[in-house]
Amino acid sequence: MLGRSVDYPDCYAPELLQAIDRREGRRVIGLSDHDTLPFVGADDWTCYELSWLDESGKPRVAIGELHIPCNSPRTVESKSLKLYLNSLNEHRFATHEMLTKTVETDLREVCSAEVTFSLYSVEAYTKKGLANPRGVSLDEQRMQRVESEPKPDILSCADEAETVEEELYSHLFKSRCPVTNQPDWASISISYRGKPIDHASLLGYLVSYRHHQAFHEQCLEQIFIDIQRRCLPESLTVLARFTRRGGLDINPWRSTEKMAPGFIRQGRQ
């Protein structure tokens, strides 16, 4: 509500961090607790609102990149991470390395995994620049109807066609936060090798998430699993670049390949 006061911490408070168990979201898409994950990947966060005090009390700012592996049993809830990062604003760190180590230690405790955190000056991060997704846009494909919830059977591919390699993307993805019901916007990139996936059916499937309530990572994993089960690609990588909220953007990727997708920060980020 406009004008409503929000309490922000004024001292270092790692207890603010809240974990999200990945198991519940994976059960929904048919992955049991005992299954070997059919993908590798990570959730790569960008932390734009990051500040602390140096040893003399002078404020410092930076942009942080947080890397949480997808095989971690838990991830971190985004609002709790925002509040935690704000709790660093008045805390003194003698060196950048001490700040980095503190954040990594606290997030590793929450996620029970080897989380990494990297700092960039504003100047250094600016040099990384913006880029468009690679490949072919799906966004001008004609659609006859828009489903209100994801339906995997929308997806189709050519059974007798030769194997192809394609990189496809769409900026039209939207889902809803399961906690606040606010919209979550993203660009989705899909790279695969296998039978040709019908582009119109793929766009229809992605757009069907518009009213779906799930966390970023859960949406991305469902997209991966549905394409894998319906289209049987030989290899598959799915990447989502979500727009930021509260100074954070979350960019999960899942793949059958061990190599991570290259860095692509997009215009809406």
Contacts with 185 (C-beta within 8 Å, 6 or more apart), sequence order: 173, 174, 242, 243, 268
pLDDT over 90, % of the chain: 83
Are 215 and 238 found together in one domain?
Answer: yes
Contacts with 237 (C-beta within 8 Å, 6 or more apart), sequence order: 189, 190, 191, 192, 253, 254, 255, 256, 257, 261
Instruction: Provide the pLDDT for residue 133.
Output: 94
Look at residue 260 and tell me if it is in a domain. no
Look at residue 269 and tell me if it is in a domain. no
Look at residue 145 and tell me if it is in a domain. yes
Are 37 and 102 found together in one domain?
Answer: yes
Are 89 and 28 found together in one domain?
Answer: yes
Q: CA-CA distance, 223 to 155, in Å (whole number)?
A: 11
- Domain of residue 21, CATH code: 3.30.1130.10
Is the pLDDT at 263 greater than 80, yes or no? no
Query: Of the listed 184, 226, 231, 249, which one is catalytic?
Result: 184
Residue 175: which pLDDT band, with cuts at 50, 70 and 90?
A: very high
Look at residue 7 and tell me if it is in a domain. no
Are 103 and 188 found together in one domain?
Answer: no
Are 164 and 236 found together in one domain?
Answer: yes
Question: What tens digit of pLDDT does each residue of 220-232 get?
Answer: 999 999 999 999 9
Q: CA-CA distance, 79 to 9, in Å (whole number)?
A: 13
Look at residue 268 and tell me if it is in a domain. no
Look at residue 240 and tell me if it is in a domain. yes
> Which residues constitute the domain of residue 94?
14-128
What's the structural domain count of the chain? 2
Contacts with 123 (C-beta within 8 Å, 6 or more apart), sequence order: none
Are 177 and 238 found together in one domain?
Answer: yes
| Mean local confidence (pLDDT), 83-98 | 97
Q: CA-CA distance, 111 to 76, in Å (whole number)?
A: 7
Residue 6: which pLDDT band, with cuts at 50, 70 and 90?
A: low
Note if 231 is an active site residue. Answer: no
Are 198 and 123 found together in one domain?
Answer: no
Note if 177 is an active site residue. Answer: yes
Are 193 and 89 found together in one domain?
Answer: no
Instruction: Provide the pLDDT for residue 162.
Output: 87
Q: Which of 102, 128, 154 is the last residue of a domain?
A: 128
Are 169 and 231 found together in one domain?
Answer: yes
Look at residue 257 and tell me if it is in a domain. no
Question: What tens digit of pLDDT does each residue of 104-131 get?
Answer: 999 999 999 999 999 999 999 999 999 9
Q: CA-CA distance, 116 to 45, in Å (whole number)?
A: 11
Are 43 and 117 found together in one domain?
Answer: yes
Look at residue 254 and tell me if it is in a domain. no
pLDDT over 70, % of the chain: 97
Instruction: Provide the pLDDT for residue 5.
Output: 60
Are 117 and 33 found together in one domain?
Answer: yes
The model carries a pTM of 0.93
CB 96 within 8 A of CB 54: no
Question: What tens digit of pLDDT does each residue of 59-82 get?
Answer: 999 999 999 999 999 999 999 999
Are 124 and 161 found together in one domain?
Answer: no
